[in-house]
Amino acid sequence: MSSKKVTVVGAGIIGASIAWHLTEAGAEVTLISSERGGVATPRSFAWINASWGNSHAYFGFRARAMQEWKRLAAAVPAIPYTECGGICWDLPPEQLKAYAEEHAGWGYDIRTVTREEIARMEPHLADLPQFALHAAGEAAADPLATAQALIDGAKAKGAKLLEETVLSLDMENGRIIGLATSEGNHETDEIILAAGVGAVSLAATAGITLPVKSPPGLLVHSKPTGKILNGLVIGEKAHIRQTGDGRIVAGSDFGGTDPGTEPDKAAAELFQTVQAMLPGAGLELDHYTVGYRPTPKDGLPIIGPTSCEGLYVAVMHSGVTLAPLVGKLVAAEVLAEPQDELLAPYRLSRFASIADA
């Protein structure tokens, strides 16, 4: 067990997971955040996957994270995790076939399903394709409830929670000595910055540049309804799933899309598309959300120590998929010192050679 003192800034799903894993290892944790449960986290589609479009190495990282979800959900029963599987046909047929072949070769549990099989799996869905792919291990978890369950778990093991806005990181001779918040100054010699898009301006106060964009993502949420979906639907026109409380949540893409200058109109149009995919369900729009996705410029996570001694960063997209693995690896690395090879591709230092970083 460790007796190290660590301050985690950010209580979205990433900061919450790191704090939970640190307290499990016996560390003394202070968790500081302006919004408990996160900023991007509660506005996320929350599809847990290692789907198409990534390198073999990053696929492997994500697939490992999917396994770590099982461990974390078993350890924290309050986490609403469901391994519901996903049906995907949001690529042209040739690309779908190539995706299935590639990922099956990498060990992903994926197979082709016919129109008839899709109709059996999701009887409420209309406008079905000739074929799609089914990934049985894909999952979802209410992201806000997950973050809250992890925060509660960390608190039960002694973590101190401060609902404060961090204004700057304080340094002396190139090392962290504390931070200044809306409520005053705190001394600390180890900070893990897991503040999502908010990490960019905070890191800058320590002279660290984080090449992170924050694209907006519109999602629509229906009023709760009876069970009409069994799993994730990554369809051509929209990505949809049903939450534990019966809402249909959907985006043109799981990451949401830019709502432009007329978000009400964009949300209404998107919801019409969703209604057409689930006719007869009597879906009613409840509300829409626009979340800003913490997205490093090359799409890969930024995880690791910085050139400022005592400052560690953990900022990423796909944070819902990655949270259990990232929490585990970061806690182990921060407490045990030796760097974990699995995290090697995700260091901030990789941007040093990119001209526009």
Ligand X SMILES: Cc1cc2nc3c(=O)[nH]c(=O)nc-3n(C[C@H](O)[C@H](O)[C@H](O)COP(=O)(O)OP(=O)(O)OC[C@H]3O[C@@H](n4cnc5c(N)ncnc54)[C@H](O)[C@@H]3O)c2cc1C
The verdict on 45 binding ligand X (CB under 6 A) reads yes
Give how far the C-alpha of residue 311 lies from the chain's centroid of Cα atoms, to the nearest Å.
Answer: 22
Beta carbon nearer to ligand X, 134 or 317:
317
Cβ of 92: how many Cβ atoms within 10 Å? 10
Q: How far is the CB of 168 from ligand X (least distance, A)?
A: 9
Q: How far is the CB of 134 from ligand X (least distance, A)?
A: 18
Q: How far is the CB of 304 from ligand X (least distance, A)?
A: 15
Beta carbon nearer to ligand X, 117 or 236:
236
Beta carbon nearer to ligand X, 301 or 310:
301
CB distance 321 to 62 below 8 Å: yes
Cβ of 89: how many Cβ atoms within 10 Å? 20
Q: 287-300 in b/e burial notation, b at 16+ Cβ within 10 A?
A: ebbbbbbbbbeeeb
- Alpha-carbon distance of 251 to 271, in angstroms, equals 9
- Alpha-carbon distance of 325 to 317, in angstroms, equals 14
Burial class (CB in 10 A: 0-12, 13-18, 19+), 156: exposed
Burial class (CB in 10 A: 0-12, 13-18, 19+), 180: middle
The verdict on 80 binding ligand X (CB under 6 A) reads no
Site for ligand X (CB under 6 A): how many residues?
41
Beta carbon nearer to ligand X, 97 or 347:
347
The verdict on 318 binding ligand X (CB under 6 A) reads yes
Q: How far is the CB of 61 from ligand X (least distance, A)?
A: 12
One of 80, 137, 231, 291 touching ligand X (CB under 6 A): 291
- Alpha-carbon distance of 137 to 267, in angstroms, equals 30
Q: To which residue do tokens 């640190």 refer?
A: 22
- Contact region for ligand X (CB under 6 A) — 84-92, 121-129, 251-259, 266-274? 251-259
One of 221, 247, 317, 328 touching ligand X (CB under 6 A): 317
- Alpha-carbon distance of 69 to 319, in angstroms, equals 12
Beta carbon nearer to ligand X, 125 or 316:
316
Is residue 161 left, alpha or beta, with left meaning phi > 0 and alpha meaning psi from -120 to 50?
beta
CB distance 110 to 104 below 8 Å: yes
Site for ligand X in 188-207 (CB under 6 A): 194-196, 198, 202
The verdict on 271 binding ligand X (CB under 6 A) reads no
- Contact region for ligand X (CB under 6 A) — 82-90, 204-212, 253-261, 273-281? 253-261
Q: Sign of the CA dihedral 82, 84, 85, 91? A: negative
Beta carbon nearer to ligand X, 117 or 253:
253
The verdict on 293 binding ligand X (CB under 6 A) reads yes
Q: How far is the CB of 1 from ligand X (least distance, A)?
A: 26
- Contact region for ligand X (CB under 6 A) — 31-39, 118-126, 223-231, 304-312? 31-39
Residues that bind ligand X (CB under 6 A): 9-15, 32-35, 38-41, 43-47, 165-166, 194-196, 198, 202, 217, 219, 254-256, 291, 293-294, 316-321
